[in-house]
Amino acid sequence: MFKAGTEFRARLLYGNQLMEADNVTFKKDAKNPDPALRSRSMKNVVFITGLHWNDGSCTGGSLYDGSSGRTYNCQITMQSGKMNLRGYIGISALGQTRAFHRVGA
């Protein structure tokens, strides 16, 4: 996560969805709806944009899923040292939450 102007953004640095089977080469953004971006590497792609801190949570963001090429609404809450990222279409109740833990300090 990082701050860019008035919003928070995030990059996914490593993971199964980003890497080829050799665990060294980054996949291409092959399912991106923009044909001009399909040949770009998934390395350092900003996948969360537009989050704004509001009363204990980050809301109003967009989450790009490179494995499907879809973009979802998202929000983040903090709970017991975990960052809970909720992606959804339409209303938050129709979504899915994933928990992330900070690595290092």
Per-residue pLDDT tens over the stretch 16-25: 888 999 999 9
Rounded alpha-carbon distances, angstroms, from residue 64 to 5, 55, 61, 89, 105? 20, 24, 10, 12, 26
Strand partners of residue 48: 10, 63
pLDDT category of residue 94 using cuts at 50, 70 and 90? confident
Rounded alpha-carbon distances, angstroms, from residue 39 to 34, 49, 84? 10, 21, 31
For residue 86 the two structure tokens come to 């909720």
Question: Mean pLDDT across the stretch 89-97?
Answer: 89
The answer to whether the CB of 54 falls within 8 A of the CB of 9 is no
- The answer on pLDDT for 8 being more than 70 is yes
* Identity of the amino acid at 63: L
Question: Mean pLDDT across the stretch 37-65?
Answer: 94
Distance CA 50, CA 75 (A): 10
CA 19 to chain CA centroid, Å, is: 16
pLDDT at res. 86:
95
